[in-house]
Chain A
Amino acid sequence: MDRRGFLKFAAGGTVGLVASPIIWNTLYDAVYWTQNWGWIPRLKKGESQYVPTVSKLCPSGTGFLVRTVSGVPVRTIGDKNNPVTHGAMTALAAAEAELRVSPARLKTPLRRSPDGAYIAISWAEAEKLLKEKTQQAGASVAAVSGDPTSSINEVLSSILNQQGSSDFYFMPDEEQPAAVAWEAMGGQGRLGYDMEGSDCILAVGAPVLESWGVVAANRSLFNRTHPVGGEAGQKLIYAGAVQNNTAAGADLWLPMKSGTDMALLLGMAHLVIKAGKNGFAAGLGNFASFAAAYTPEKVSAITGVPQERLEAAAKALVEAKKPLVIAGSALGSGGSAGSVMAAIALNMLLGSVNREGGLLDLPYPVSVVAHATDYRDTMRKRFVDYTQNVAAGKTKAPALFFVYAANPVYSLPADSGVKETIKKSGYSVAVASFMSETCEECDLVLPAALGMEAFDDVQTPYGSGRVTYALARPVAKPFADARSAGELFIALAQELKLELGVKDMPELLYKHAYALGAPFRAMMDEGAVHTARVTLPASPLFYNWEAIRAAASARGEEGDLQVAPVVVLAMGTPQTAIPPFATKVVTDYQLKGRYSVAQMNGATAAKLKVNAGDLVKLVAGNNVQITVVAAIFEGILPDTVSLVAGLGHTAFDEFSKGKGSNVLALTSVRREPGTGLPVWGLAGVKAARA
């Protein structure tokens, strides 16, 4: 064929191709192809189901529906039928389906090798190791649990008791100082708060809309008492150093210097006594004359709250039908018992004890596992006393140390002695769902299933006004090789031939439900939640003014600056760190790149000679030094900087690691005068431009 022929052949071919569909179809297919890049994940479709259960990661036991698609959890949605939280969510609970598969999630049991690296091992090997170590340890075993609402604690404490050890502890939380205070004032049961029945709540230091008590329930109450665009049916007054989320929802904000809660409460007591509110109980006269020293002028000078706001708050309490005063701490742990005592005294003056909308005496959760320590007895024990004694060599280090659902290495002050206790203990075991700072210190790390993957429960959390009981039910398979912590401890007890009286978690939960008269079947099958108003014989309360006086003698903070920590649930808890789907909720006034942001008001900034965006060095009383970015925010007291808690993780995953500084690093352990309770002193800091 010659050239001309070839050209004609080619021309014919071109015409033929153009007249056939191949080119156009290929173009069309290419369009489809560009919509399906291989490196971008595809959706998995399937049948959606919505199963009610409760969150075990969110401290308030938020009731939610887990939406699964072909059995895989993809969303958590507030459960409107939950009688405790009424469908209210928290930023943490909303991120739980994603947390379940987060990069920080532990996948297999890990054993530390002599060179310090972790080796993935099988469950059979892990269980064998666990059995051996427990047998060898004998009575020299200690454990700490960070989940006080779970009945898994009973199994663990029963194992310890039967081994001959009484060293089972709860992580320090909001309830421990409150229990001390309630007992000191004559309370015989467990301190409860009927927030639902109140028409005016004064929250001193307690961020009731973000981290104090049963937050999801508090928020749903706020929702119901504040109709959209309508008049509020409940007044909320918040006293705290920072205009935080709770202050944003409050009708009145009392800007109160950190650590001056007692002075504020005593000042309020003085004002309400003046207004004729003096609920009678033994010790009233002495208390009244002690409180009389806290005149508005003096309290204003100590706390920084403008006098007219003190008076407005007192007026609101006096005029309310059912006022309720709550005291708590900004950090949620390491708070003082004294402020709770003062709050109880104030409630007593207002007649807000043992009545609807006031403080209530609730029964403590009971144990159903044989040989388990009762909740109340565990609550009375002080973990930090133990760890500090072990660290100081005053108490023998345990041969075996369990850390269950807790991250004490991160969430306690540096001088708490936890790190030393883990180091000194013969063998340390962490049972956790995420690779935390504490896991990184332990010899054996066991991956625990989440609440939505295993049987667990939520017994009345602190802050509730009634007895509640909810079950966490397995909605999905445990992620990777994770396993129910409850079943793990039960299996260990069985291996050791210990007596528990229950053979598995469902039986344990059944026994609890039975003890409470809760409808176990409906709870198991439909996710029903039990609530009950239980009235105990009224406690013979009295004004323990001596205890209050002793606690009030605590010395104030030194240093140029006060640090006011802010807890937000979007930062997760010490056990979860920042959930991947919550990083965008972290604002640029909380974190900037790798630095925590310190908010301060304009006057403070001028005094420190810093501008917004400047790097500032904060040096705490314990000589810990952190570098932060300054930001100006007028909703803060003068000479105070606010730092958000939950940053500064060194473990977990890229969503949490290396971001900002841990506020707790600036704190150190002190003892409260009178009660001897370990409290976190937010030592005054010095600031300088970095």
Chain B
Amino acid sequence: MSSEVKQFKIRWGMVIDIDKCTGCGACMVACQAENNVAPAVDGSNKLRSLNWLTVFRLSNHKPFPDHEVAYLPRPCMQCGKPSCVSVCPVIATDKREEGGIVSQIPPRCIGCRYCMASCPYHARYFNWYDPKWPGDLAQALTPDVSTRMRGVVEKCSFCHHRFMKAQEAAVARGEDPMNLPDGAYITACTEACPNGAITFGDLNNPAHKVHELIKSPYAFRLLERLGTEPQVYYLSRREWVRREGDNYLEHEKTGEATKQG
């Protein structure tokens, strides 16, 4: 695998405004329902539960009453230099399609879990057991994403099927499927967020909102200095939140890694 950042004409990306997120979890519910992630009986067991998108609670680590709280939704970062792709022995995960979404094909996966070890964001999950939809729950499966089986790894796909649907719809309207208007393709979590904390679009396309948003002085990415070049950006006006995005030493300032790019 080359160590170059993969370049694409279209680069789907997400900008998550942490100051707008209040941690309600509607995005997580929508994600599971859309992508046919089986429900967990004990979802509070975070070692066993499988989420493509997880909302983490952040703290400014100050004691009461100066404590502040923030919530951080974490999808797959769709890295520009994905460490998972380079370690997969069977090319079950790959990044080579327009849009720059890192694909994961569970039936091709052999379950070695190298990708999970290599992902610095813990965005990948392993099916330790067969997924179960007790009773009649399987009736509510969507037709968009195939169900997985025990022994394979899965992760967020930026609802790639919605990209395909948006392309189909564009073709049906006689438009260019490779030049979708802003909002024609958004993920289920973006759609579900009641606070509008998630903005989704083509980072390369000046007609898309995200193109401008990532230039904000408040924008940052998670563990930016690892050089994974995520396609997911976060926004926060609060310095302490931005500092939570990476392991900073006391004298270090945020925002420098972005400039190095």
Contacts and interface: CB of A to CB of B under 8 A. Distances in A.
B232 to A, nearest CB: 14
Interface string A168-192: 0000000000000000000000000
A68 to B, nearest CB: 10
B261 interface: no
Nearest to B134: A103
B88 interface: no
A234 to B, nearest CB: 13
B15 A228 contact: yes
Interface stretch (A40-48, A393-401, A618-626): A40-48
A637 B65 CA distance: 7
A245 interface: yes
A77 B191 contact: yes
B69 A243 contact: yes
A105 B24 CA distance: 24
Interface in B184-201: 191-197, 199
A591 B141 CA distance: 27
B119 interface: no
B44 A40 contact: no
A249 B36 CA distance: 30
A94 B63 contact: no
Contacts of A42: 147
A152 interface: no
A580 B19 CA distance: 29
Interface in A261-309: 306, 309
Give the bracket for the number of chain B residues in contact with chain A: 35 or more
B63 A102 contact: no
A553 interface: no
A309 B66 CA distance: 11
A78 B29 contact: no
Contacts, number: 232
B24 A74 contact: no
A248 interface: yes
Interface stretch (A376-384, A519-527, A541-549, A581-589): A581-589
A333 B191 CA distance: 31
Interface stretch (A219-227, A367-375, A411-419, A490-498): A219-227
A21 to B, nearest CB: 23
A35 B148 CA distance: 9
A75 interface: yes
Give the bracket for the number of chain A residues in contact with chain B: 35 or more
A73 interface: yes
A101 interface: yes
Interface in A31-86: 34-35, 37, 39-46, 48, 67, 69, 72-75, 77-78
Contacts of A636: 64
B45 interface: yes
Interface string A550-573: 000000000000000000111000
A646 B166 CA distance: 39
A88 B216 CA distance: 26
B118 interface: no
Interface string B120-147: 0000000000110111111111110011
A100 interface: yes
B213 interface: yes
A584 B43 contact: yes
A94 B64 contact: no
A592 interface: yes
Contact of A41 (B42, B141, B213): B141
B20 A223 contact: yes
Contacts of B133: 41
Q: Which of B61, B107, B192 is the most central at the interface, judged by chain A CB atoms within 10 Å of its CB?
A: B192
B57 interface: yes
A655 B137 CA distance: 12
Nearest to B21: A248
Contact of A603 (B39, B61, B64, B138): B64
Contact of B141 (A74, A586, A601, A638): A74
A209 B32 contact: no
Nearest to B197: A228
Given A228-B17, A569-B24, A46 B143 contact: yes
Nearest to A223: B196
A89 B64 contact: no
Contact of B22 (A44, A245, A591, A653): A245
A255 interface: yes
B135 A91 contact: no
A210 to B, nearest CB: 7
A219 B194 contact: yes
B234 to A, nearest CB: 10
Contact of B196 (A40, A46, A91, A228): A228
A216 interface: yes
B57 A210 contact: no
B40 A583 contact: yes
Interface string B16-48: 010111111110111011101001111111100
Nearest to A660: B44
A585 B140 contact: no
Contact of B24 (A78, A229, A570, A590): A570
Contacts of A255: 64-65
Interface string A206-223: 000110000010011011
A492 B216 CA distance: 63
A590 B63 contact: no
B51 interface: yes
A568 B71 CA distance: 15
A86 B220 CA distance: 29
Contacts of A90: 24, 26, 194
Contacts of A585: 25, 28-29, 43, 55
Q: Which of A223, A306, A579 is the most central at the interface, judged by chain B CB atoms within 10 Å of its CB?
A: A223
Contacts of B204: none
A412 B19 CA distance: 35
A98 B153 CA distance: 24
A591 B44 contact: yes
B259 interface: no
Contacts of B114: none
A593 interface: yes
Nearest to A210: B24
Interface string B44-75: 11100101000101010111110111110000
A103 B194 contact: no
A325 interface: no
Contact of B39 (A569, A637, A655): A655
A101 B135 contact: yes
Contacts of A485: none
A247 B67 CA distance: 11
A311 B63 CA distance: 21
A229 B147 contact: no
A602 B17 contact: no
A91 B26 contact: yes
Contacts of B218: 229
B33 A654 contact: no
Contacts of B138: 41
Contacts of B92: none
Nearest to A656: B41
A138 interface: no
Interface string A353-370: 000000000000000000
**4 nearest interchain CB pairs?**
A583-B43, A585-B25, A88-B194, A634-B67
Given A255-B65, A583-B42, A659-B44, 17 more contacts: A41-B138, A44-B141, A69-B142, A74-B142, A78-B192, A88-B194, A94-B26, A100-B140, A248-B21, A479-B136, A568-B24, A580-B39, A581-B39, A584-B40, A585-B28, A634-B59, A634-B67
10 contacts: A41-B138, A75-B33, A78-B194, A89-B194, A103-B136, A219-B24, A587-B57, A601-B67, A634-B59, A659-B44
Interface of B: 15, 17, 19-26, 28-30, 32-34, 36, 39-46, 49, 51, 55, 57, 59, 61-65, 67-71, 107, 130-131, 133-143, 146-149, 191-197, 199, 209, 213, 216, 218-219, 235
